[in-house]
Structure 1
Amino acid sequence: MGTERGLRESKKQETRRLISDHATRLFIEQGFEATTIAEIAAAARVAKKTVTNYFPRKEDLALDHHEAFTQSLARVVAGLAPGEPPLPALGRAFRATLVGHSPVAGFTGPEFARMVADSPTLTARLRELHDRREEALAEALAAASPGTVPSIAPRATAALIAAADRLLFRRIQELTLAGRTNDEIEAELTPEADHVYGLLLAAVGPGAGGGPAAP
């Protein structure tokens, strides 16, 4: 039974990747708004209903890392040891995504970045995902905060961190669209991220963080 479930899950993941890959190719070739679910289904050789079962929103076909994106900051905080300040851990996590050229940090390649930038729908969806990321972070910070802090403190800290995160994400996209390679972007963003995290430390204080984004 376990083997059978594993095969079914593997098949589902394979189908999901197939649909997502064909959707991304069509979005880049034709533009997001101009591409239909029917065209994606035909390219992937599946029914339209299969596409919408895996991806209820058309935007999720393009931004298919949305769950990892919205939860990534919160997961770092949730994994902290008792009393460990979140800011250094978040800085290290960002550095890891920078070194790994992760799509979660904004490394998407120039064609994909241009496709998103040219689509009002995807641009709006990305703003929504940033907002959801901030909300998830605020909840994680609240859960990790001592009861003595003001109730607004986790939300205020999350707002500052999320604003910095948006800035760094946009900076990576900006450099991508300017034709810079991933290695060049990493080299330029490393000191910039350290500077941003230094500003965060000054803003939130040592109780919420302990240093810049250095490993």
Structure 2
Amino acid sequence: MTGLRERKKRQVHEAISAAAIALFLERGFDEVPVTEIAAAAGVSKPTLFKYFATKEDLVLHRIADHQGEAARVVRERGPGEAPLAALHRHFRDGLDRRDPVTGLNDHPEVLAYHRMIFSTPGLTARLFHYMALDEEMLADALGELTDELTARVVAGQVLTVQRVLARRNWLRLVEGESADRIHPAAVAAADHAFALLPALAPAR
């Protein structure tokens, strides 16, 4: 019974977000009221806010779904694998999968989605809120391996590298290049960027 209830909640969650993003992409984030989104999703406004705390979260939950991912990669890495090596591998795997969080996905809706985030101040500010939480979680995971200061510095550097690489990939795509064409360069850029970090890696 619990499984069915959770599935139904997830379906409502996805229906609300899908309705919101479709309207936002059509008319702009600031032009669509929450009441219209609720009506399009077939729920009440109070119900909508039970699922999403803010209007911005209607968009950013797709990114929030990756919350804590870097920390999980560190904790679940293979025996003998260094934390930064695991994070580097995970990012490269994301490039191969064309994971939108790497910026290397040229589906028109994904490109429009990222354009909306980067061009809407409220969404950008909320995005940095999520990134700060992710950084804290990664620092906690690294803190199990090294001192607190090193962990925080490394976490900040890793999240910055990932953000810079993703935005760089996205900018090349909006200039008209295809994900397949720039994939080799994106991999090389990731290799180069992560190679800049070993001096900050945890000592044990």
TM-score, normalisation: structure 2: 0.88
Q: Are 1:113 and 2:110 matched, yes or no?
A: no
Match 2:5 to one of 5, 8, 13: 8
Q: Which residue of 1 aligns with 2:27?
A: 30
Q: State the one-letter code of the partner of 2:2.
A: R
1:42 aligns with 2:39: yes
The alpha-carbon distance between structure 1 residues 123 and 177, as it changes in their structure 2 partners (threshold 3 A), is: farther
My pick for the range that moved more, 73-82 or 122-131, is: 73-82
Secondary structure of 1:11's counterpart equals helix
Tell me: CA distance 1:125–1:104, structure 2 relative to 1, closer, same or farther (3 Å). same
Q: Distance in 2 between matches of 1:45 and 1:15?
A: 9
C-alpha separation between the residues in 1 aligned to 2:156 and 2:41?
Answer: 40
- 1:72 and 1:205 map into 2 onto residues whose CA distance is 18
Picking from 185, 188, 193, the partner of 1:191 is 188
In the alignment, does 2:125 pair up with 1:124? yes
Specify the code of the residue in structure 1 equivalent to 2:84. Answer: L
Partner of residue 100, structure 1: 97
CA apart distance, 1:172: 2.4
In structure 2, what is the equivalent of residue 143 of structure 1?
A: 144
Partners of 1:186 and 1:26 lie apart in 2 by: 31
Structure 1 segments unaligned to the other structure (5+ residues): 209-215
Structure 2 Cα separation of the partners of residues 63 and 206 of structure 1: 31
C-alpha distance 185-20 of structure 1, shift in aligned 2 (>3 A):
farther
Asked if residue 53 in structure 1 is aligned to residue 50 in structure 2, the reply is yes
Contact 2:71 2:141 in 1 (8 A): yes
- Percent of pairs with identical residues: 39
Task: In structure 2, give the amino acid aligned to 1:37.
Answer: V
SS at match of 2:67: helix
Instruction: Specify whether residues 71 and 205 from structure 1 end up closer, same or farther in structure 2 by C-alpha distance, changes over 3 A only.
Output: closer
Check the 8 A contact 2:95/2:102 in 1, yes or no. Answer: yes
Q: Is the 8 A contact 1:141 1:154 kept in 2?
A: yes
Task: Evaluate the alpha carbon distance shift between residue 81 and residue 192 of structure 1 in structure 2; reply closer, same or farther with a 3 A threshold.
Answer: closer
Residues 39 and 185 of structure 1, relative CA distance in 2, 3 Å threshold: farther
Q: Relative to 1, partners in 2 of residues 1:178 and 1:128: Cα closer, same or farther, differing over 3 Å?
A: farther
Q: CA RMSD in A?
A: 2.0
TM-score, length basis structure 1: 0.84
CA contact (8 A) 2:142 2:202 kept: no
Q: Secondary structure at the match of 1:63?
A: helix
Cα drift, residue 50 of structure 1: 1.4
* 1:160 pairs with 2:164: no
CA distance in 1, matches of 2:12, 2:202: 47
How far is the alpha carbon of 1:185 from its aligned partner?
4.0
Q: Deviations over 1:77-114 (max 9, x none)?
A: 11135664201111110011111111332347221122
Distance 1:185 1:207 in 2: 34
1:73 to 70, 73, 90: 70
- Counting only pairs closer than 5 Å after superposition, residues 176-215 of structure 1 correspond to structure 2 as 176-201=173-198, 203-204=199-200, 207=203
Change (3 A) 1:77 1:206: closer
Q: Which residue of 2 aligns with 1:213?
A: none
In structure 2, relative to structure 1, the CA distance for the partners of 1:91 and 1:34 (3 Å cut) is same
